[in-house]
Structure formats: structure tokens, C-alpha cells
């Protein structure tokens, strides 16, 4: 079985601009390409799991989200980072403006379905893996999937929790809190 680092996208890999929908707004956060290369060399699968309400809000369609992700991954690789192993996203929102996406889904974090699906697809042992995110809902999803969790302070860590259809379990705390993905990787490698 493989080990993975599951990564939220906005606020962890790229600057969170609130509903990233335009290529010109992509800004890879400092240190991300090198840090991803370090985790890749250590044998971790690198799997992005991201809520993408831009679809539910009508700013992008699902194909547009994939195109934008490809541009992000291209920029990471141009800066010396590795190819990412997978990208999973939830297009739903409980108050979507596009009716087709206004559903009570199982994939929207804090639910763990995206991590579980990625683990199945890539032969990942969740108990040997880590979830890195900037929001408490990332931490809750990681914990629900059985991963160790890291909350980074490069995004929306101080913002109110995202809208969810079920109450958040306030007893769940991150296993580690740190400044950014580079610090998260140092901790992950120490734990491994």
C-alpha cells in the first residue's frame, strides 16, 4: 500500500483568492514546488482534494476547473515540482446558484469521500497518510478518513468554517498546526 499526502488546493498550494476562476489569478505559494518534490522523493503520493464551489456558483464548469488545475500543475512543474498524482474535487454547495449542484453530497469536505476515493484509486493506506489543509473542514475530512492531519496558516485558517449541511464536530483538532506547506512537510517527514 502507498502513503499519500492529501492536499487542499486553495490556501495550501495556491493563494486563496476566494473562488479562483481565472488563470491570471493563479499564484503558487512560496516553497510549494520544492516541498512537493521533497514529499514525492520520500515516496508519498500527492493527491489534491478540493471543494470547488466555483462550479456551484456558475463561475466555471467542471471542465473549466480541470483546465485551471492543469495550469496550476504546469506552473508547479515549471518551477521544479513533481507531477501530482491526482486531482479530486467536489462541485457541490448546499446553497448553489446552479440548481443541479444544490445537493446534499457525500464528497464535499468535511465529508471524507474524496480522500477515500483517491485512496482506492491509488492504493493508499489512509492510516499511513496525511491531510494538509488550511480550514478546519479539511482537518475534519482527513480525520474522518483515518489520516493524520495538518492545518497550515497560509490560507483561510482564521475564516469562519465553510457552509456545511451537518454541524461540525468541534472536538476534532489538527494533529499539527504550522505556518505553511514547507513546515507541514518537515513535520510529516519527522513522523514517517
Instruction: Estimate to the nearest angstrom the gap between the alpha carbon of 179 and the chain centroid.
Output: 16
Q: How far apart are CA 131 and CA 146, in angstroms?
A: 10
Contact 89, 50 (CB under 8 A): yes
Q: How far apart are CA 181 and CA 165, in angstroms?
A: 29
Could you say which of 10, 16, 85, 180 is catalytic? Answer: 10
Residue 85 bears catalytic tag: no
Cell numbers placing 61: 464548469
Residue 10 bears catalytic tag: yes
Could you say which of 8, 16, 138, 180 is catalytic? Answer: 8
- Choose among 162, 164, 188, 163: nearest CA to 174: 188
Contact residues for 97 (Cβ-Cβ < 8 A; gap 6+): 56, 57, 58
Q: How far apart are CA 88 and CA 90, in angstroms?
A: 7
Q: How far apart are CA 180 and CA 150, in angstroms?
A: 10
- Choose among 169, 161, 114: nearest CA to 4: 114
Catalytic residues: 8, 10
Amino acid at each position: 500500500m502507498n502513503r499519500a499526502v492529501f492536499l487542499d488546493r486553495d490556501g495550501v498550494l495556491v493563494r486563496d483568492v476566494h473562488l479562483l476562476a481565472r488563470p491570471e489569478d493563479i499564484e503558487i505559494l512560496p516553497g510549494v514546488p520544492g516541498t512537493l518534490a521533497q514529499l514525492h522523493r520520500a515516496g508519498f503520493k500527492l493527491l489534491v482534494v478540493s471543494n470547488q464551489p466555483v462550479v456551484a456558483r456558475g463561475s466555471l464548469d467542471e471542465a473549466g476547473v480541470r483546465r485551471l488545475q492543469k495550469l496550476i500543475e504546469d506552473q508547479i512543474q515549471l518551477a521544479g515540482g513533481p507531477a501530482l498524482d491526482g486531482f479530486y474535487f467536489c462541485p457541490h454547495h448546499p446553497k448553489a446558484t446552479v440548481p443541479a449542484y444544490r445537493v446534499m453530497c457525500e464528497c464535499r469536505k468535511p465529508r471524507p469521500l474524496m480522500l477515500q476515493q483517491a485512496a482506492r484509486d491509488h492504493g493508499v493506506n489512509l492510516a499511513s497518510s496525511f491531510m494538509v489543509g488550511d480550514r478546519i473542514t479539511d482537518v475534519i475530512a482527513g480525520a474522518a478518513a483515518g489520516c493524520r492531519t495538518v492545518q497550515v496558516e497560509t490560507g483561510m485558517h482564521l475564516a469562519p468554517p465553510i457552509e456545511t449541511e451537518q454541524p461540525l464536530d468541534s472536538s476534532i483538532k489538527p494533529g499539527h498546526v504550522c505556518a505553511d506547506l514547507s513546515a507541514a512537510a518537515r513535520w510529516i517527514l519527522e513522523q514517517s
